[in-house]
Structure 1
Amino acid sequence: MDTTAVVVLTVVSIVTGKASLLVGLWLRLRWQTRHEQIRRQQLASVVESMAQDGQMEVLEHRSDGRRVRIKITRTSGGTTAA
């Protein structure tokens, strides 16, 4: 192999590696964004389904063995602390 072929092969290898890395990061970011959108929609639907002065508890079992418990209590008006 002459030096031109080695240089071309090296450059192609580097560019392909960097492009693969970027595609992988983009796919991961896209998946995380979609996952967060679904969670936001679920939470919004839970809040909308609550009665006016109601209380609701959501217990979620995730596939990796973790559990998430959310307890929501709706109160009437009031002031918020800063």
Structure 2
Amino acid sequence: MTLRNSTTPTTNLLAYVSFLLLKRGTTNFANKIYEVAVLPAFYGPNAPAPPTPHEQLLIEVDDPHEPDAIARVRSALTERFKELSHLKHE
């Protein structure tokens, strides 16, 4: 899924594992800026492990390597994950 920078905070972030910035209007050369640790599903010794999903969220910005853009998006993602964490524990 690809989003514009301004829509990031309201997206369901729990569906994604990796968050990448890419130059607006392109689909290649993304810059990974955030990754969520995912624990594999528990399985028994005689059963195959189920696949672990690895969904990526692509966020369009003017320059995916600009330090200000990276910091701004990381901050927005961190704040959104904090909000989701508080909702989970209520």
| Structure with the largest fraction of strand | 2
TM-score by length of 2: 0.28
| Structure with the largest fraction of helix | 1
More relative contact order in 1 or in 2 (CA 8 Å, sep 6+)?
2
User: Based on CA coordinates, which of the two structures has the bigger radius of gyration?
Assistant: 1
